[in-house]
Amino acid sequence: MRGLKLLLVVLLLAGCAQPPPKDDSLYRDLGERAGINRIVEGMLLNIAHDPRIVERFRKIDIQRLRDKLVEQFCVEAGGPCVYTGDTMAESHKGQNVSRSDFNALVEDLIAAMDTQGIPVPVQNRLIARLAPMRGEVIQH
Ligand code: HEM
């Protein structure tokens, strides 16, 4: 059921670029910088145990990825951060990321938020910020 709802959110929001959030309520609801750190660490840990996508992360600088993800989630949640990483198109170019890879990563993120006790409506607000990036991340 969760998978179905997630799929619907992803489908509905794919392709709609979003302006930055009006306030920092999502940032606060995610537990600010420390909470976002825990979510990203948890997501990367889940990815490390996810046979569907773990191979893709074997040869990269995981520390850099963690730092850039924290910055990016912070910005997307309306927090006081600056994203200093590459664009989504640049960083995923040539990786042949598929829709199912994308959904697997989002599932690993949701599982990390579950572990952190983030309420589902708050989870959905973060997912809704990331879903529009799908078009840049996956291969066409
Ligand atoms: C909403 C979905 C996603 C978001 C928000 C996202 C975000 C990011 C960010 C912020 C970076 C770092 C860019 C930098 O180093 O400057 C990155 C890199 C990377 N992403 Fe994603 N990503 C997403 C989906 C995926 C998926 C589905 C995969 C593969 C299953 C993937 C694989 C990678 C890999 C391997 C890198 C490292 C590339 C490198 O260092 O050469 N990403 N991503």
> Is 60 exceeded by the pLDDT of residue 3?
no
At 19 the pLDDT is 81
* Helical H segments across the chain, by residue range: 2-13, 25-29, 32-48, 62-76, 88-92, 99-115, 120-130, 134-137
Exposure on the CB side of residue 136, measured as CA atoms within 13 A: 12
Q: Over the Cα atoms of the chain, what is R_g?
A: 14
Look at residue 88 in the predicted model and tell me its pLDDT: 98
Distances in whole angstroms, Cα of residue 35 to Cα of each of 3, 7, 42, 77, 109: 24, 25, 11, 12, 13
Tell me: pLDDT of 16 over 60.
Answer: no
Q: Which atom of ligand 1 is nearest to the CA of 73?
A: 5
Average pLDDT, the chain: 91
Q: Which of 6-10, 34-38, 86-90, 121-125 is predicted with the least confidence, judged by mean pLDDT?
A: 6-10
Q: Which of 6, 16, 65 to mutate to test the pocket of ligand 1 (most atoms within 8 A of CB)?
A: 65
Note whether residue 58 is domain-resident: yes
Residue 18 lies in a domain: no
Average pLDDT over residues 41-45: 98
Domain that holds residue 113: 2-9+23-137
Residue 14 within any structural domain of the chain: no
Q: Is residue 132 part of a domain?
A: yes
Residue 30 lies in a domain: yes
Tally of CB atoms within 10 A around 76: 23
User: Could you give the number of structural domains in the chain?
Assistant: 1
Tell me the pLDDT band of 15, cut-offs 50, 70 and 90.
very low
Residue type, 122: V
The secondary element (H helix, E strand) that includes residue 78 is: none
Residue 108 lies in a domain: yes
Q: Give 35 Cα–ligand 1 centroid separation in angstroms.
A: 20
Q: Which of 137, 138, 139 to mutate to test the pocket of ligand 1 (most atoms within 8 A of CB)?
A: 137
- 15 located within any domain: no
- The answer to whether residue 17 scores a pLDDT higher than 60 is no
Q: Which atom of ligand 1 is nearest to the CA of 102?
A: 27
What is the pLDDT, as a whole number, of residue 4? 58
* Res. 30: pLDDT tops 60: yes
Percent of the chain with pLDDT over 90: 84
For residue 61, give the ligand 1 atom closest to its CA. 40
pLDDT digits (tens, 9 = 90+) for 98-124: 999 999 999 999 999 999 999 999 999
Which has more pLDDT, 98 or 19? 98
**CATH number of the domain where residue 101 is located:** 1.10.490.10
Residue 115 inside a domain? The answer is: yes
With a cut of 70, say whether residue 7 has pLDDT above it.
Answer: no
